[in-house]
Structure 1
Amino acid sequence: MIVGMLSHLQVLLFYRNNLSGSIPSSLGNLSNLRDLELAENNPTGAIPTCLGNLLKLRTLILSENDLKGTIPSELGMLTHLQVLYLSLNNLSGTIPRFLGNLSTLTDLDLSGSHLEGPIRPELGMLTHLETLYLYNNNLTGTIPTSLGNLSRLTVLVLSANHLEGPIPPELGMLTKLQWLHLFTNNLSGVIPGSLGNLSKLTNLELSANQLSGNIPDSFSTLRQLINLYLEQNKLTGEIPVTLERCRMLEVFQLSENQLSGSLPDFLGGLQQLRYIYLHHKQLTGEIPASLEGCRMLEKLHLSHNNLWGRIPR
């Protein structure tokens, strides 16, 4: 009996096997299917349009395969879909507008799939979305302000694309956000102070862009922040003393900017710090003895500055 004849089947999981060939069109006959997972196999060909017949589908996971072609419009029929993972394939084309109609989506992952074009503003209609992964594609244009409508979002990862323009201040409305990764793009302008509203943020990665201006004082409210990556930008001014309130920090990476002033004494009070990267900057003055308070420190990188004094024990 072939799988396509199992008309009562609700769950079909073939995760991490050695399946090959195309995904059979007979799967479209499984009208009661709720969960379909075929990740980490070797299927080829296109995503079959027949999957649009699975009107009860809640989970569709086709990640880490060798699927090609565009994302078929028929997936827009899956109005009960909650999880859609198509990452790490060889897809082409753009992010389709119809994804904005999948109003029950909670998790969307299209990363590493060779998609191009803009991030559709329609994604801002997915008000139940909790995680959005679009990293490592060829996406262009600006970050749509409509993403600020995703009030349930905990993870937003748009890194390793070709996005440009400013970071929308509207992202500061995502008060449940824990991860914000925008690194390795062409973003410019200042870091919006509204990001200081993200009080649940643990990971902020904005490195390898063209961001300028000062590090916002409002970052002092990021009391849950563990990893701060701002390196390889054009940030200026001094390292704000207000960062001393970020007591959970483990990674402090501000290297390769145009920051000036002295090495802040408050770093010694951040006792969870493991990695401090402040190299290739314009820091001057004495290395503060307070760094001896960083008992968890594993790496201290201060090269290519104008610092002097005794190396902390």
Structure 2
Amino acid sequence: MSSEAADERVAAASVVDVARAEPARRSGGGTLWLLGSELLTLFRRLRTWAMLAALAAIPVLIGVALIIAGPAPSGRGPTFLSEITNNGLFVGMTALIVAIPLFLPLTIGVVAGDTIAGEASHGTLRYLLIAPAGRVRLLLVKYLAAAAFCAAATLTVVVVGTLVGWALFPIGPVTLLSGATIDVGEALLRFLAIAAYVTVSLLGMSAIGLFLSTLTTVPVGAMAATAILAVVSQILDVLPQLEWLHPWLFTHYWLGFVDLLREPMVWDAFVDNALLQAGYILVFGALAVGRFLTKDVLS
């Protein structure tokens, strides 16, 4: 059975589940149930697990490459790469830096771009809209599921990277960018904070993907457009002629998590990033609602 056929069967099963749950939805407890059903649908798709496996492969490849080729020269390659052979905890951070520009946006683009367009292409969208005001609720649930995938994708890279580093390299106290040293326990807590930072960074992109998904019944188009916008935003962010625009680009603070590896931790980038992503969520969420409420759903 192909992955596409399997996804269609999962989507059909989701519609049946939602139809059976209609009494619960009308009683007011249906939003959480619908969210649970959507998360179950998302995380039992082969495509979802294939993308998470691809992300998990990044720290594995980094660790194996360093075992085979030896330590990287200082100052060359991604940040922290030269530190890995001395402390395996840096595998997760290096993998995250490698994944952020392209691999994470690709996977988020696939999930966010498929939210509405995927249902339309499978012919299941109209069956999901079976309750009054169901469209807004459906958009909210679809977005929350995409946000959950953002967290899962980020944690996959960080957790697998930490485990790979633990298995292949020495583990010990971590020297921060400011020169201070912290123990392993505190380092792991900071890595979780960094995972939260990156998850927040991807929420604005998810809102963009949700909006684009309401514009088409072809999910591949919404997926590609979302991923391309992330690449274009990063290109614009490195052009000095557009410096005035940089703080408004949704990718501008994506690598600002390095401030969490200082002593004391600097939270300015985290706050600025959260505010920026919230702005994108509000704008593109409103656009998605406006478009979806006036859309003729024929499939």
Instruction: Identify, as 1 or 2, the structure richer in strand.
Output: 1
Q: Does the pair score TM above 0.5?
A: no
Whose Rg is larger? 1
Instruction: Identify, as 1 or 2, the structure richer in helix.
Output: 2
TM-score normalised by length of structure 2: 0.20
Higher relative contact order (CA 8 A, sep 6+): 2
